Amino acid sequence: MQQRVAIQGIKGSFHYQAAQEYFGSEIAIVECNSFDKVAQSLLKNDADLAIMAIENSIAGSILPNYALIDRLNLKIIGEHYIDIQQHLMALPGQDINQLKEVHSHPMALLQCKQFFEDYPQIKLVEDTDTASTAERIHRLQLSGIGAIGSKSAAELYQLNIVRHSIQTMKVNATRFVVLTAKNEEIDRNQANKASLKFQVHHKRGSLATILNVISDCRINMTKIQSLPVIETPWKYAFFVDIVFENYEDFEKAHKLLSIMAEDFKVLGIYKNTLK
pLDDT of residue 105: 87
* pLDDT digits 0-9 by tens, 255-274: 999 999 999 999 999 999 98
* pLDDT digits 0-9 by tens, 62-120: 889 999 999 999 999 999 999 999 999 999 999 999 999 999 988 889 889 999 999 99
* pLDDT digits 0-9 by tens, 157-187: 999 999 999 999 888 899 999 999 998 888 8
Q: What is the 3-state secondary structure (H, E, C) of the chain?
A: CCEEEEEEECCCCHHHHHHHHHHCCCEEEEEECCHHHHHHHHHCCCCCEEEEEEEECCCEECHHHHHHHHHCCCEEEEEEEEECCCEEEECCCCCHHHCCEEEECHHHHHHCCCHHHHCCCCEEEECCCHHHHHHHHHHHCCCCEEEEECHHHHHHCCCEEEECCCCCCCCCEEEEEEEECCCCCCCCCCCCEEEEEEECCCCCCHHHHHHHHHHHCCCEEEEEEEEECCCCCCCEEEEEEEECCCHHHHHHHHHHHHHHCEEEEEEEEECCCCC
Q: What percent of the chain has pLDDT over 90?
A: 80
Does pLDDT of 192 surpass 80?
A: yes
Task: State if pTM tops 0.75.
Answer: yes
